[in-house]
Each structure stands twice: as structure tokens, then as C-alpha cells.
Chain A
Amino acid sequence: NAGVMQNPRHLVRRRGQEARLRCSPMKGHSHVYWYRQLPEEGLKFMVYLQKENIIDESGMPKERFSAEFPKEGPSILRIQQVVRGDSAAYFCASSPGQGYNSPLHFGNGTRLTVT
């Protein structure tokens, strides 16, 4: 039973380019969360999605960031026109539901470096 799969593991982008981060949730999980971890900090919630719906995007920067979870395929976190401050580890987590008996399962993250 594969866990949460994120790719790529490492991504290097120059300032102004676009970054696309992919997340395939665990089998049977229809809830996906994206978190960002800046150096020496804890994880910060970005967005919560279910299939084809954004449920909570209260942690997403207002500009340049978007997320989707289509009916088919992985969830995508997209960052347009990246800047140095976007350099961080981005973690995806999935759960089968949203109750407290549905703990989050995390992927190994995508480490984005903006040069």
C-alpha cells in the first residue's frame, strides 16, 4: 500500500519561472492538504482540497500560488513567477476523511530552491 507520493523530491527554479509540485494521495484518500516548511520553522497550512474542490485556502498567498485536485490524477500546487522567498519544503498530506479519526499521512516533501 503506497504512501503519499510527491514529486519531484527536489526542484530548482530560477526567479520568474514556474514551479509545479505533484502529490498523489494514499489509495482511498480523497482529502489533500498542502503545507509549507520554511527553514528552521514548523509547517504552515496552505490549502485543503477534496476532489475537484478547494475547501480551505486560508493559508495560500494571495498571488502566484494556486492548487487543484482534479477528478483524475494528482493534486498540483503551482507557483508562478517564483521568488527566492518561495524556497522551502512543500509537504502534501492526505486523509480518508476530515474527522479526528482520520489522521494525516504525509509525503516526503518537495524541496524547492529558487536561484
Chain B
Amino acid sequence: AQSVTQLGSHVSVSEGALVLLRCNYSSSVPPYLFWYVQYPNQGLQLLLKYTTGATLVKGINGFEAEFKKSETSFHLTKPSAHMSDAAEYFCAVSSITGTASKLTFGTGTRLQVTL
């Protein structure tokens, strides 16, 4: 069984500050890891994904995440927050075995960006 834990249901940062959204996963097999963003009343949009290879992955809108197997973490970062980054962010996991596109999601972190 797989699971995802996102620490902090709400995170608030100032515009221009570092964004750090935490994600820890549990998986008995090598995981595929994803970050999605959801704007109000919209569907989820893929920010980035880790499958194999380089553990630091870069995504859209200046976001990146690092897969740390020893810490079972996949935290999302962005050096400088922009007002347009305000949204809800979901971390998700799937696995090499079974259906790779079947995702288990965390409960989400709502990012607020203030002036």
C-alpha cells in the first residue's frame, strides 16, 4: 500500500520569499512521485514528476523538487514566490508495479502569497 503525507495544510509566504511545501511518502516498491497544482474551480495541473534518474527535478513555473530516498521525501520548492503561485498543491505517488497512472494523493497544502 502507498500513502502520502503533506505537512501543513496551509502555508503562507511573502511575495519573493522561498516556498517550501513538504511531502513524505510511503511505498513498498520504487515510487513515482508527482506534484500537482489546483487553482480554484479547476482541475489539477502537473507541475513536475520523478520517475527514475536525476533526483532533482525541475517543473513548470520555476518549481523544483528533490527525491530523497533515505528520508522518503519529495519536497517542493521555489526560490521566490509570486502572487500567481497562490493555489492548492498536491503531492502524489504511484508505483512501477501495477498501474503507474493510478495515483495516491496527499490531502493538499494551500499556499497563500502575501504582499
Contacts and interface: CB of A to CB of B under 8 A. Distances in A.
Interface string A80-115: 000000000001010101111111111111010000
B82 to A, nearest CB: 23
A33 B102 contact: yes
A4 B44 CA distance: 11
A98 B101 contact: yes
Contacts of A42: 4, 90, 105-108
A107 B102 contact: no
Nearest to A97: B101
Given A41-B107, A43-B90, A108-B41, A103 B34 contact: yes
Interface string B99-111: 1111111111000
Interface residues of A, number: 30
A98 B100 contact: yes
B107 A103 contact: no
Nearest to A45: B102
Interface in B64-102: 90, 94, 96, 99-102
A111 B40 CA distance: 12
Contact of B43 (A31, A45, A91): A91
Given A42-B108, A103-B49, A98 B99 contact: yes
B102 A100 contact: no
A56 B107 contact: no
A54 interface: no
B89 to A, nearest CB: 11
Interface residues of B, number: 26
Contact of B46 (A91, A97, A104, A108): A104
Interface string A50-90: 00000110000000000000000000000000000000000
Contacts of B112: none
A43 B75 CA distance: 19
10 contacts: A31-B101, A40-B107, A48-B101, A56-B102, A101-B51, A103-B46, A103-B101, A104-B46, A106-B45, A107-B43
Interface of A: 4, 31, 33, 35, 40-45, 48, 55-56, 91, 93, 95, 97-109, 111
